[in-house]
Amino acid sequence: MAHVSDKIMSKKASEDISMGYAVVLGSTRGEVSLPSGANAGCFGVMDSDALAGGSAAVVVSGLVLAVAAAAISIDDMVTVDADGKFIKIAASAATYNVMGRCTRAAAADGDYFEFLIEKRSVVVAA
């Protein structure tokens, strides 16, 4: 289970999706899928593995365990990469779809880390 304390919603997986990955609402009502690109506005984080067509438990609020794509430090704001893993937002000027703030760090790609879901847009000025 990927959750620590949270609100979980049940959806249908439109593809195989692993625990700790970000998901977006799918093109079919009631389905979730992996994001199609980096910095996507996501629906939530998978609470467990789901097979295509199967039930998908999605954490939409609270603390959650997620899969990092690179090192993430405590208090970093996180967004998603093109594969549905999480990365810290860059210092470069842009608008980011932030999923939350890190509460337990990750050292490398593939590590699980913990963050508090706080979905919002953040503008980093030049």
User: Based on the domain organization, do 70 and 119 belong to the same domain?
Assistant: yes
Distance of CA 92 to the CA centre of its chain: 21
- DSSP letter at 14 equals S
User: Based on the domain organization, do 15 and 34 belong to the same domain?
Assistant: yes
User: Based on the domain organization, do 68 and 118 belong to the same domain?
Assistant: yes
User: Based on the domain organization, do 79 and 44 belong to the same domain?
Assistant: no
Average pLDDT over residues 68-86: 97
User: Based on the domain organization, do 56 and 79 belong to the same domain?
Assistant: no
From residue 68, alpha-carbon distances to 8, 27, 31, 124 in Å are 20, 26, 24, 21
Number of domains in the chain: 2
Give residue 91's pLDDT band: very low, low, confident or very high (50, 70, 90). confident
User: Based on the domain organization, do 118 and 69 belong to the same domain?
Assistant: yes
CATH code, domain with 46: 2.40.300.10
Distance CA 76, CA 32 (A): 26
What range does the domain containing 21 cover?
3-61
Distance CA 39, CA 54 (A): 26
Q: How many CA atoms lie within 13 A of 88 on its CB side?
A: 21
Q: What is the pLDDT of residues 1-42, one digit of tens each?
A: 555 556 999 999 999 999 999 999 988 999 999 999 999 999
pLDDT, position 13 = 97
